[in-house]
Structure 1
Amino acid sequence: MIDTYSEAVEWLYNRVNFERLGVGQYGRNDFKLERMQRLLEAIGNPQEQIPVVHIAGTKGKGTTATLVDSILREAGYRVGLFTSPHMFRIEERFLVNGCQISEERFLKLVSRMEDYVTQTREEAPELLPTFFEITTAMAWLYFIEEKVDLAVLEVGLGGRLDSTNLCRPLVTAISSISLDHTRLLGDTIASITREKAGIIKAGVPVVTSSTDPFVCEDLKAIAQQKGCSFQQIGHDFHAEIVKPWHEFDRFQTVRYSQTVLHETVSIEIQFSRPGQIYACNIALALACIEQLNQSGYEITNSQKQLGIRNASLPLRFEILQESPPILVDAAHNPAAFEALMEMLPEYFPNRPVTFILAISRDKDYVGMCQTLRGASSLILTQYLGNIRSLPTVELAEVVNQTGIHVTYNTESPAHALETALRVTPENGIIVASGSLFLAAEIRHLVKPESLIQSLPV
């Protein structure tokens, strides 16, 4: 019997949690939809009752989901948003109109899940649901209770066998695809693309922000096989930066254009994050919205502009303080990390960079370290409370093999930040990246009030 919120959280974390297990503790055979199908049937198949925008991809899917959610809320719709992982509290994973569930209602949902797990342990122990499957089911129940008009779902891992894949989408979106989770999804772009494309469903429009011609060719072929319309950035819709982001004017202007009914329409969007990567995220979100408009929803250009401008994107090129500037970014694979490395000198020219780095051991940390460049000081650390964190000593060995000099090894993010603040020159900036978990810990250290502000009112 679960009686308190803290007991509910502890119970959840005691479920099988692939997000926190180390390398070798799970494999491809652990991912299957039978567990989720059984769980959803037991709670009344809520996923059949809510229309969905379903988003997969290697990088950009979480940002795209947040942008779609923000636009729809600006248009007056009641929206459920499911994303992962969370920064501080599990409740961040399922929001309704931007608000977290209360502890009381969270406890009730967990208690319902406990009853199901107890029954399943007796009847079919091989089908006990995982942490992610349970939180997905809790999100569906919460969305039903809150009578949302539609839900925006970010895929957790891959797509084909992800627990979010049991849904009824109005549009399927796939962001850029690169190598990540190769032990589970395959070690080629083609194999990963097929896993991501597993969320494509018969007759449901598909939009993608991938610019890789081979990825798009594969996605288009799968979409056509399933009778889906297919739109890709650079062909059917476009994103052009017409005013770049500057450090002292932290907005860029992106012109989005698309051909609708043989007529090209365009809209200019202001956004608080820089670069073409975010322009592509904006374009993918707007392509989703256009598909919804064609399905009968009514979202105006001004609602699109305001929704994107007002979207909250913690840990995505987020500047936490000004003097010295502290920037956190959740880049955690080589492609995203290399993009960050390219953005820093472009948007902070002639500024010495103190870089705080921690990486999960199940990521391509060798590939990420090979993209490291331009740091005046490199501080290595490891985040706390998660066995996936690569120990600082091991990370230092990898970095040293690339020929890059490690300035400091530290035992914790707090120690790393303290060191960075001490050694960064007056005109320098501090950047923390390599893992969402590191970025979240640094954010909490710099802005502890943000945890309080994120709680339900």
Structure 2
Amino acid sequence: MIGSYPEAVEWLYNRVNFERLGVGQYGRNDFKLERMQKLLNAIGNPQEKIPVVHIAGTKGKGTTAAIVDSILREAGYHVGLFTSPHMFRIEERFLVNGQPISEERFVALVCQMAAYVDKTQETYPELTPTFFEITTAMAWLYFLEENVDLAVLEVGLGGRLDSTNLCRPLVTAISSISLDHTRLLGDTVASITREKAGIIKAGIPVVTSSTNPFVCEDLKAIASQKGCPFQQLGQDFQVEIVKPWHEQGRFQTVRYAQTDSVEVKTIDVQFSRPGQIYACNIGLALACIDQLNHSGYTITDTQKQRGILNVYLPLRFEILQEAPPVIVDAAHNPAALEALMETLPQYFPERPVTLILAISRDKDYAGMCQTLRRVSSLIVTQYLGNIRSLPAAELAEVIEQEVNLSVLLSESPAEALKIALRVTPSHGIIVASGSLFLAAEVRQLVKPECVIPRVPA
């Protein structure tokens, strides 16, 4: 019997949870939409009653989802946002108008799920839903109870077999695609593209920010087979940084151009994160909004600009403190870490970088280590809140083999941060990256008051 918030959290985390299982403890055969479909059938198929913006991809899908959500709220729509994983508390996964679900509503939804799961375990133990399937169903129920106008869903893993894939989207978005989760999704970009493209549904518009010609060719072919309008960055819409981010102003101006019509339409927006990758995320989000406008929604340019200016993005190139600057970034695959390594010297020129690094053991940590450069001091550690963390000593060995860098070892993010503050010169910067879990733990150390981030009113 679940009667309290701690009991609800404990019950949920006792479900099969692929986010916390180590390498080799699960495989492709563990992902089946049949379990999710039966769960949704049992609770009345709420996913069929809410229109959706559905977003997949390797890098940038979470940022894109946050931007779309912010623009829609600025336009006056009542919006649900479902993302994963969370930083500190599970309620962060279920947002309505930028605010996480209350503990009371969370407990009530878990109790509702538990009643179904207990019944299923007795009759069909092989179809007992997983942690992520249950949380996805909870999001649908919560959004339906809150009578949202539409929901923004970030795919958890892959796309084709992800539990979010039983939605009814108005637009399907796919961000940049690169190698990640190769044991489950395939060890080539082509195989991963096919998995991500599994969210494409007949007749539903598809937009992508990928600029890889082979990826776009595959996505376009799949969209064509399913009768879907298709738009891609660089062809149908463009982005250009017209005013770069700098340390003093900390905003970049991005020009978005919709070029799929006779008349080229442009809009300039300001964004608080630097670099081309964020410009591409903005482009993808605005392409989604354009499709919604074609579907009967009304979002003005001013609302787009205000939504992008005010978007809340913890753990994405987030500057937590000054003197020296402490930055956390959730880069957790080679492409994302490569982008971060390119961004730092561009926007913090002539400033030595102290990098605090921790990586999950199920990631391509050798590939991630090969991206490390322009780092003055490297502190290798391990995050503590999830068993997926690669032990610091093992990660240090890989770094020395792959890139021949000397490292400082630390057993915890707290110790790593103390070392970083000690070894970083006054004109240097400290960056914590390699995993969302590390970024979250460092954020909590620097800003302990921010347990559940809330969007400013």
TM-score range, shorter chain: over 0.9
Residue number in structure 2 paired with 1:121: 121
| Paired AA for residue 79 in structure 1 | V
Identical amino acids, percent of aligned pairs: 80
Aligned length: 457
Residue number in structure 2 paired with 1:16: 16
What is the Cα deviation at residue 452 of structure 1? 5.3
Residue number in structure 1 paired with 2:313: 313
What is the Cα deviation at residue 56 of structure 1? 0.3
Q: Distance in 2 between matches of 1:252 and 1:453?
A: 24
Deviations 1:185-230 (A, max 9, x none): 0000000000000000000000000000000000000000000000
Aligned CA distance change for structure 1 residues 186 and 452 (closer, same or farther; 3 Å): closer
Q: Distance in 2 between matches of 1:232 and 1:146?
A: 34
Q: Please, which runs of 5 or more residues in structure 2 have no aligned partner?
A: none
Q: Distance in 1 between matches of 2:58 and 2:92?
A: 21
> SS of the residue aligned with 1:158?
coil
What is the Cα deviation at residue 82 of structure 1? 0.5
Matches within 5 A, 1:81-100: 81-100=81-100
State yes or no: 1:221 paired with 2:229: no
Residue number in structure 2 paired with 1:54: 54
Q: Distance in 2 between matches of 1:402 and 1:158?
A: 28
What is the Cα deviation at residue 323 of structure 1? 1.1
Residue number in structure 2 paired with 1:251: 251
> SS of the residue aligned with 1:450?
coil
What is the Cα deviation at residue 123 of structure 1? 1.2
> SS of the residue aligned with 1:430?
strand
CA RMSD of aligned residues (A): 1.2
| Paired AA for residue 194 in structure 1 | R
Q: Distance in 2 between matches of 1:144 and 1:61?
A: 23
TM superposition score normalised by structure 1: 0.99
> SS of the residue aligned with 1:451?
coil
Q: Distance in 1 between matches of 2:292 and 2:53?
A: 9
| Paired AA for residue 422 in structure 1 | R
| Paired AA for residue 296 in structure 1 | G
What is the Cα deviation at residue 407 of structure 1? 3.3
Q: Distance in 1 between matches of 2:39 and 2:161?
A: 15
Deviations 1:61-98 (A, max 9, x none): 00000000000000000000000000001111110000
Q: Please, which runs of 5 or more residues in structure 1 have no aligned partner?
A: none
| Paired AA for residue 129 in structure 1 | P
Residue number in structure 1 paired with 2:431: 431
Q: Distance in 1 between matches of 2:334 and 2:211?
A: 17
Q: Distance in 2 between matches of 1:237 and 1:385?
A: 41
| Paired AA for residue 74 in structure 1 | E
Residue number in structure 1 paired with 2:107: 107
Q: Distance in 2 between matches of 1:257 and 1:400?
A: 45
Matches within 5 A, 1:34-433: 34-259=34-259, 261-433=261-433
Aligned CA distance change for structure 1 residues 91 and 456 (closer, same or farther; 3 Å): farther
What is the Cα deviation at residue 455 of structure 1? 10
257-266 vs 270-279, greater mean Cα deviation: 257-266
The runs of at least 4 aligned residues of structure 1 exceeding 6 Å deviation read: none
144-153 vs 254-263, greater mean Cα deviation: 254-263
Deviations 1:291-318 (A, max 9, x none): 0000000000000000000000000000
What is the Cα deviation at residue 260 of structure 1? 5.5
Q: Distance in 2 between matches of 1:210 and 1:252?
A: 21
TM superposition score normalised by structure 2: 0.99
Q: Distance in 1 between matches of 2:234 and 2:411?
A: 45
Residue number in structure 2 paired with 1:441: 441
Q: Distance in 2 between matches of 1:370 and 1:218?
A: 28
Q: Distance in 1 between matches of 2:430 and 2:322?
A: 10
Q: Distance in 2 between matches of 1:147 and 1:238?
A: 35
Q: Distance in 1 between matches of 2:455 and 2:215?
A: 40
Answer whether contact 2:8 2:107 (CA < 8 A) is retained: yes
| Paired AA for residue 315 in structure 2 | L
Q: Distance in 2 between matches of 1:228 and 1:431?
A: 42
Answer whether contact 1:101 1:456 (CA < 8 A) is retained: no
Q: Distance in 1 between matches of 2:377 and 2:404?
A: 10
258-267 vs 136-145, greater mean Cα deviation: 258-267
| Paired AA for residue 245 in structure 2 | W
What is the Cα deviation at residue 454 of structure 1? 4.0
Answer whether contact 1:331 1:436 (CA < 8 A) is retained: yes
Q: Distance in 2 between matches of 1:109 and 1:255?
A: 42
What is the Cα deviation at residue 259 of structure 1? 2.9
What is the Cα deviation at residue 262 of structure 1? 2.1
Answer whether contact 1:99 1:456 (CA < 8 A) is retained: no
Answer whether contact 1:46 1:140 (CA < 8 A) is retained: yes
Q: Distance in 2 between matches of 1:254 and 1:453?
A: 26
Q: Distance in 2 between matches of 1:268 and 1:432?
A: 31
What is the Cα deviation at residue 261 of structure 1? 4.3
Q: Distance in 2 between matches of 1:139 and 1:436?
A: 22
What is the Cα deviation at residue 422 of structure 1? 1.0
Answer whether contact 1:237 1:287 (CA < 8 A) is retained: yes
Q: Distance in 2 between matches of 1:62 and 1:46?
A: 23
Q: Distance in 2 between matches of 1:402 and 1:341?
A: 16
